[in-house]
Structure 1
Amino acid sequence: MKQKNRFSFIFFIAVIFSVILSGCSYDKPTSNNSSGKPDKGDTVAKRDEIKVGLDVDAGTMDPRLSKDTSAKRVSELVYDGLVRLSANLEAEPALATKWENPDPTTWIFTLRENVTFHDGEPFTAEDVKYTYDSLIDPNFKAPYASLYDPIQSVEVVNEHQVKFTLKEPSAPLLSYMDIGIVPKHIGEKNDNSLSNTPVGTGPYKMVKWDKNSKIAFEANENYWNGKPKTKKVTYFIIPDNSTRVASLESGDIDLVHSPLSPQDIKRIKENDQFEVKEMEGLGFTYLNFNQKNPILSDLKVRQAISYLVNKKVISNDIYQGMDKPGKSPLIPASWAYNDSISGFSYDPDKAAALFKEAGWEDTDGDKILDKDGKKLSITLSTHSEDPNRMQTVEFLQNEFTKYGVQTEVKTSEWPTFSTSLTEGKFDIALVGWLNLVDPDRSFYNPFHTNGGSNYGKYSNPTVDRLIEKGRTALDSKERTTIYQEAAKIVTEEVAYDVLLYQGYIAMYNKKVTGFNAHPSGSFYGLKDAEVSN
């Protein structure tokens, strides 16, 4: 208990210090009118801008190349996909009004007519073909190209109809058809302009991007799904969780969402000026083990380290129950979830036994395990924008060191951390996956030998076959069995150690009306939101 109190006190001081430092790290939004009085002649005056706080900046504005949540939040306003996923993850019409699946390898989409891009050019089947042709082109190097690998060809049937021919049946493919359709007439110039100046068919146009500061949007007055209720939306990049929430409390911004710090959520819940929406999220937080590291390539070492991870303490004390202890890459919101896949519980004795079996013992009395004259030394890394994750790696550093694993902590800003992750320059990284709308998304990219996000270079031919079969099987019961089997293997072999199942929380001023929170964190609902003065 003394250790826990000391740990909590250090964390409290760290949060206060980070808030003070972060106060100068972004351009403070102009304060809203806080008088609460409507303008003369109005019953309830509405503001012409909704202000949103985000934790990190977008890496790119091109939806085909995006790989971070902020880029996705931009895409949700600027672009439309062929479909949009409901809160129940069901495909609903967007740029496609209907679709047919006449046989397992054919999809025919009928497109919405009289839709224009933000530059006034008409949207047609040519734009759909161009978008998907680029996604499956290996030279384009789309980060999530493997999601669309089943597509063999895309054919323009006519101006408002497009036909997809698949190499093999693909059960999850429709769930991935929500990716934004880009304009062919701009994309084919190959000048990379869409990465900085996006042009879509969505409810808002991006008008300004001050990198690491703010992203400004204005309403698309001719939006096919109805003119947005509010003229402007602005995303403010505020890396520190507590500073972001403080901006919400002061009225500088109107809405924030996950990631958030537990103590801030508790305080906002007790303030009747704000609405707090909590729901089961579509993601998990995990430790990614780099199996190219000679030490971590040993399964017994990975398992031993996993036995030193106290998920209950991390969930209860650091996240204060906001995120729940994790088990496998199958999230509770998934139809394939199986609670019996238990993962690794906290058990230092089992860890010690496994280290010994792997040949790691303290032979020189310095309390660090060694083998063949080499210390058991690793680096734990994460990004500095999330204090919960920073606190978690520091907690794990203490635990690992206590049981003989010499552990260094390395934190960096998201762009640097993300680059190190994708280039495989890490030992054990604490990171998360979001938008897991189908088990295929949890498995193919991260665990298939050729997966585009297999940063830890995990490889198991049996898992490869299961993942491939899970894509092509069309029976839901069969897919459930397949993914549960794959989950057992990757969990036992510690490709990942899934720490937490993420919850999703959106917090906003009660002056905001019409916004419906989505478990994926989608901001498309801002189209129907308004803010009163």
Structure 2
Amino acid sequence: MTLKLRLHSLLLGTIASLCLGAPAALADLVNPPETVRVGLDVDSLSLDARLAAETTSYRLDDLLYDGLVRLDENFQPKPALATSWETPDPLTLIFHLREGVKFHNGQPLTADDVVFTYTTMVDPNLNARSRSLYEPIDSVTALDEHTVQFKLKEPYAPLFSYLDLGILPRAAAEGNAEFGSAPIGTGPFRFDSWLRGSQINLVANPDYWGGEPAVKKIEAIVVGNGSARAQAMEAGDLDLIYSPLPPAEVGTLSANAKLSHSVVPSVSFIYVNFNTADPLLSDPAMRTALAKLIDQATIVDQIYGGLDQAAASILMPAFPWAYDASVTQPTFDVEAAMAELDALGWKVGADGIRAKDGKQLALTIGTNSEDAERVQSIEYIQNVFTSAGIKTELQAVDYPTFMKGNQGKTYQISFLSWGNLVDPDRAMYGQLHTGGNFNWGSYSNPVVDAALEKGRSESAPEARAAAYKDAATQIAKDLPYYIVAHQRLHAFTSEKLKGFEPDARGFLTDLAAPAK
């Protein structure tokens, strides 16, 4: 079996040949409108494709840029800027680029732009959030104007899952710190304008190699409050919104005959992140006791209204080839948690607060203030922690401030989510491998490291699945993460968007369908 076939089979857990013909098909809108207004929950931090850090950036980058491949609804790689590829040996991949493609500024796409994008992506000086996904790439070389060679340090099974990274124009992006504020790609839509914190406008690319989109303008409106976003949808001020949404609003919108409601399993999860570098949280026994104070059922079924699936572990049901229901994390058990805290020396004092060696047990739990369900969740966790004798402070701040705290490792406990997890590797390696660039909690365990490395290098799907089971089993014991729910994506569309089909990542891909 060639590496090309191995990589594809690992992506899906089955052996199949790669389609090198046409790009991934888009669903056709029945009557494409001139303008589509999309309601988003957070503003983008940067529209530089290499620096994508939240759902808004991923969604808009997918329209502004093209990658070497595009992932279809089953996460299979399809041709995009690369029309075909070959593997002369297990550590070499050669991509043949589509000719005649131009960036939005009229500059032709060349192999040098691909080299620039990937070499800067793995450069620590860029500090790209997704850098660890590309670190197994040893070098990227332009063989000629339309041919690119990738050399790998080692066999890397998930690679094709990540080759949809948007390609940047070297001439415009190199040395340009402001590129992410006025991005240039080759995608079906061009950047038009950005009112920070409020609205990002895109316009159709009339020269797009895949055909000019039928939709001519996308107005991405930032409405941080979920209820306000739902009300704007119901009032007809928006044409498309995605969850997260308040459960009550989902019910109201579902009952509106003028709106279409779609639900798909998403590749994202909600979780509690413990900072294992914090002295109070460095002991797995402490994290286990705290996890038993997280009432998962109430959070999932009541606060989130049963819209998502309660999680047993970090293994995602979206990948049945790697999912194993026998891997389980601790469940809600206040009595057991209290006994375990006692055993750790944290005794309840006369004031009702646990203390050890004269020091009170005080913890801070944070989340972003734009998401009402997250705020309600940490308020509920605070109540349970307090009743167990833990002095608990809440910290709900705007999303950029919240993420700076996570990335700066200045937090104790965070309540947040991961999305766009198109492979089990993307859900675990960068986050939980020692030194991973998403490893904000400084977690380190050689057992997990070895398992995650094996999951990247093994050729057989069964071997990869076994590696991820080993990693997830240890993670469920150490609990750097407590997985609250595997999310389901809820999409609401107006009558203007009949035919729109959401995918598991919540992208806006169908809005790029060309006119017939």
Give yes or no for TM over 0.5.
yes
Distance 1:529 1:402, change over 3 A: farther
Instruction: Choose the corresponding residue for 2:436, options 451, 457, 462.
Output: 451
Deviations 1:254-310 (A, max 9, x none): 110021111111111111100011011101111100112111112211101101111
**Which residue does 1:355 correspond to in 2?**
341
Where does 1:475-490 land on structure 2 (aligned, <5 Å)?
475-490=460-475
Instruction: Choose the corresponding residue for 1:310, options 272, 295, 312.
Output: 295
Q: Given the alignment of the two structures, is residue 365 of structure 1 paired with residue 350 of structure 2, yes or no?
A: yes
Which 10-residue stretch deviates more, 205-214 or 364-373?
Answer: 364-373
Deviation at 1:513, TM superposition (A): 2.5
Q: Given the alignment of the two structures, is residue 141 of structure 1 paired with residue 127 of structure 2, yes or no?
A: yes
Task: Specify the code of the residue in structure 2 equivalent to 1:201.
Answer: T
**Which residue does 1:39 correspond to in 2?**
none
Task: Specify the code of the residue in structure 1 equivalent to 2:246.
Answer: S
Deviation at 1:333, TM superposition (A): 0.4
Deviation at 1:45, TM superposition (A): 8.0
CA distance in structure 1 between the aligned counterparts of 2:481 and 2:244, rounded to whole angstroms: 21
Where does 1:282-431 land on structure 2 (aligned, <5 Å)?
282-334=267-319, 335-362=321-348, 364-431=349-416
**Which residue does 2:153 correspond to in 1?**
167
CA distance in structure 2 between the aligned counterparts of 1:81 and 1:333, rounded to whole angstroms: 23
**Which residue does 1:32 correspond to in 2?**
none
**Which residue does 1:205 correspond to in 2?**
190
Where does 1:86-101 land on structure 2 (aligned, <5 Å)?
86-101=72-87
Where does 1:427-438 land on structure 2 (aligned, <5 Å)?
427-438=412-423
**Which residue does 2:103 correspond to in 1?**
117
**Which residue does 2:171 correspond to in 1?**
185
Q: Is the 8 A contact 2:31 2:496 kept in 1?
A: no
CA distance in structure 1 between the aligned counterparts of 2:38 and 2:421, rounded to whole angstroms: 23
**Which residue does 1:36 correspond to in 2?**
none
**Which residue does 1:241 correspond to in 2?**
226
Instruction: Choose the corresponding residue for 2:215, options 213, 230, 236.
Output: 230
**Which residue does 2:16 correspond to in 1?**
none
CA distance in structure 2 between the aligned counterparts of 1:52 and 1:139, rounded to whole angstroms: 34
Task: Specify the code of the residue in structure 2 equivalent to 1:476.
Answer: P
Task: Specify the code of the residue in structure 1 equivalent to 2:331.
Answer: S
Q: Is the 8 A contact 2:32 2:497 kept in 1?
A: no
CA distance in structure 2 between the aligned counterparts of 1:47 and 1:152, rounded to whole angstroms: 45
Which 10-residue stretch deviates more, 323-332 or 75-84?
Answer: 323-332
CA distance in structure 2 between the aligned counterparts of 1:203 and 1:529, rounded to whole angstroms: 9
**Which residue does 1:13 correspond to in 2?**
none
CA distance in structure 2 between the aligned counterparts of 1:92 and 1:390, rounded to whole angstroms: 39
Q: Is the 8 A contact 2:354 2:390 kept in 1?
A: yes
Residue 346 of structure 1 aligns to a residue in which SS?
coil
Q: Given the alignment of the two structures, is residue 108 of structure 1 paired with residue 108 of structure 2, yes or no?
A: no
CA distance in structure 2 between the aligned counterparts of 1:100 and 1:260, rounded to whole angstroms: 44
Normalised by the size of structure 2, how large is the TM-score?
A: 0.92
Q: Is the 8 A contact 2:367 2:396 kept in 1?
A: yes
Deviation at 1:339, TM superposition (A): 1.1
Residue 142 of structure 1 aligns to a residue in which SS?
coil
Question: Which 4+ residue blocks in structure 1 deviate beyond 4 angstroms?
Answer: none
Residue 50 of structure 2 aligns to a residue in which SS?
coil
Q: Sequence identity, in percent?
A: 41
Instruction: Choose the corresponding residue for 1:494, options 479, 489, 494.
Output: 479
Task: Specify the code of the residue in structure 2 equivalent to 1:80.
Answer: D
Task: Specify the code of the residue in structure 2 equivalent to 1:379.
Answer: T
Structure 1's unaligned 5+ residue stretches are: 1-43
Q: Is the 8 A contact 1:513 1:529 kept in 2?
A: no
Residue 482 of structure 1 aligns to a residue in which SS?
helix
CA distance in structure 2 between the aligned counterparts of 1:45 and 1:519, rounded to whole angstroms: 24
Deviation at 1:193, TM superposition (A): 3.1
Distance 1:450 1:81, change over 3 A: same
CA distance in structure 2 between the aligned counterparts of 1:491 and 1:217, rounded to whole angstroms: 43
Deviation at 1:529, TM superposition (A): 8.4
Instruction: Choose the corresponding residue for 1:157, options 143, 151, 173.
Output: 143
Structure 2's unaligned 5+ residue stretches are: 1-29
CA distance in structure 1 between the aligned counterparts of 2:144 and 2:281, rounded to whole angstroms: 54
**Which residue does 2:53 correspond to in 1?**
67
State the Cα RMSD in Å.
1.3
Q: Is the 8 A contact 1:515 1:528 kept in 2?
A: no
Distance 1:303 1:438, change over 3 A: same
CA distance in structure 1 between the aligned counterparts of 2:444 and 2:250, rounded to whole angstroms: 40
Q: Given the alignment of the two structures, is residue 281 of structure 1 paired with residue 269 of structure 2, yes or no?
A: no
